[in-house]
Structure 1
């Protein structure tokens, strides 16, 4: 065998120290964005049935939760609200005393170093569960933009550091950018859900956010999972309209899309490790089929390797602890 000449790639894999030395992709605490679900009332900390380890929390538990997040080294949170009241126009979404607005003010007062990202949508707040105004059974685009811009301004006024619109209406970034600028928030960035597919991986989130559509589905505004080129058009439009970040959602089944967008656009790119991806792992862990730490770190690293700069994930607190080990 001594006469054979071949590459010895294994030389760089022989010890953990060597593997770490030549590792190409790194997952850091600073990459993590932790989603939270805030509800009205007091004394509420209830686990979401389909999302073990994820809770609905009321404002009296919020500061304690945020201090824990900060202590773990996580720098950013995304706030979702679950209101007590809903109506056809989702008025609690843009109410100055809505649940998200109250949560943002409290976080910025009690844990000001956290970056607070406000999810900007109407679906949790509408009685029909859709992300805009419904007329004659159709989600209408342009009239919905006015309410989305109003929602964004109210969140910025409450102190949100970043506005994250998730509705997928055409022109939503332009409308929100205009609304923010006119209200004096020209320095508030937009983290656009630029590429959001009509995915089967959202089920547990709808359980958490109480946002299941009461009729039909969201396929007229969220993207067809079969489409790749459309994602590039959506991302291009949002950047031209003023988006500062782009979100790809879901993440794990769309790593090719993350790579496509990364190669075309130099803006910060965010992967959303969605609820279904989370709950599938949790179910497998509960059955003893997988090692939770190893599989979660592997899949989040894959998102970074595909080109994501940041990751929204319900695993954020666990990952922060694992990275310290």
Structure 2
């Protein structure tokens, strides 16, 4: 009969078998002893179906421009984006998210270029919908890529105008939907924008266009390389703490998500990813709806730089980080590693 093994098991003769080994009824290491058994008992599985690839757009033709603070990431002209997205689709990546680097000459305090149906994002949507129709197209709804001050909304002095911004965001969302967006993803963190966008899409005959809400988007230090990539880092006046969430708050994330669900969001997102795995778990447990994590530019840059310096195994850290999102409850991950990870997942 097995004995219960306590803290003194290692020194208690009664806890040992005749050959001197510990007489343990449960040995969890048995399920870890070989690759085949580890695979059989694995609780969390990452597949290419879990990956969304954010890409950056620039004007011009046949252009690929490196983002210095995100080694391995490039800005694509629309024609080059089509080639890159075709490759991603061939690997099985189900969706991409588009972010523009807007020419500074086109930026103004009102972000009016966001409403231009010939802007960079809208032109890319039309081309990608024609060239790679099998991949989902997600568009960012916010004004920061288009404003001269770098904020996500309209300013009155130093104050962000919530309701006036929402009205502009609705027009931006409709412009993107008309150009071919499958999913509208408002990242601005204005109050009430999900409901206003949902109502406007429905009224415009776009009831099938989904909304992925940035439900819990924090005022994080991990966004720096992204702001380099879209050209807003130098333009930003002040900070975004009056509308993005305080990193110290978790309960507030549930309140934000609850409102977005009530207003018609189809999917929820937590941003950044790894520093907020607890928030991700809470939202998934509470709402039981499609929930995503955004592995943001700072997370990408840290893993990549550490790998390049030989401080860690880049590929192993990349894959481990993605699995941890799934373990914490994510249905998918927006990650700049999407294509790299998809290639690894396709390997036998």
Q: Deviations over 1:193-231 (max 9, x none)?
A: 010000000000000011235311000000000001000
* Distance (Å, rounded) in 2 between the aligned partners of 1:265 and 1:93: 32
The correspondence of residues 174-189 of structure 1 with structure 2, limited to 5 A, is: 174-189=195-210
TM-score if structure 1 supplies the norm length?
A: 0.98
1:100 alignment partner in structure 2: 121
* Distance (Å, rounded) in 2 between the aligned partners of 1:126 and 1:293: 37
Equivalent position to 1:217, from 239, 249, 261: 239
TM-score if structure 2 supplies the norm length?
A: 0.92
Equivalent position to 1:133, from 140, 154, 160: 154
Q: Which moved more, 1:220-229 or 1:73-82?
A: 73-82
Equivalent position to 1:259, from 281, 293, 303: 281
1:113 alignment partner in structure 2: 134
The correspondence of residues 11-160 of structure 1 with structure 2, limited to 5 A, is: 11-84=30-103, 85-160=106-181
The runs of at least 4 aligned residues of structure 1 exceeding 3 Å deviation read none
Q: How far has the Cα of 1:267 moved from its partner?
A: 1.3
Partners of 2:293 and 2:325 within 8 A in 1: yes
Q: How far has the Cα of 1:25 moved from its partner?
A: 0.2
Q: Which runs of 5+ in 1 are unaligned?
A: none
Task: Please give the secondary structure, in 1, of the residue aligned with 2:210.
Answer: coil
2:300 alignment partner in structure 1: 278
**Residue 323 (structure 2) pairs with residue 304 (structure 1):** no
2:4 alignment partner in structure 1: none
* Distance (Å, rounded) in 1 between the aligned partners of 2:340 and 2:62: 24
* Distance (Å, rounded) in 2 between the aligned partners of 1:42 and 1:137: 38
**Residue 29 (structure 2) pairs with residue 10 (structure 1):** yes
Q: How far has the Cα of 1:60 moved from its partner?
A: 2.2
Structure showing greater Rg: 2
* Distance (Å, rounded) in 2 between the aligned partners of 1:60 and 1:318: 21
Q: How far has the Cα of 1:5 moved from its partner?
A: 3.4
* Distance (Å, rounded) in 1 between the aligned partners of 2:81 and 2:339: 15
* Distance (Å, rounded) in 1 between the aligned partners of 2:238 and 2:260: 26
* Distance (Å, rounded) in 1 between the aligned partners of 2:57 and 2:237: 25
Q: How far has the Cα of 1:44 moved from its partner?
A: 1.6
* Distance (Å, rounded) in 2 between the aligned partners of 1:45 and 1:297: 26
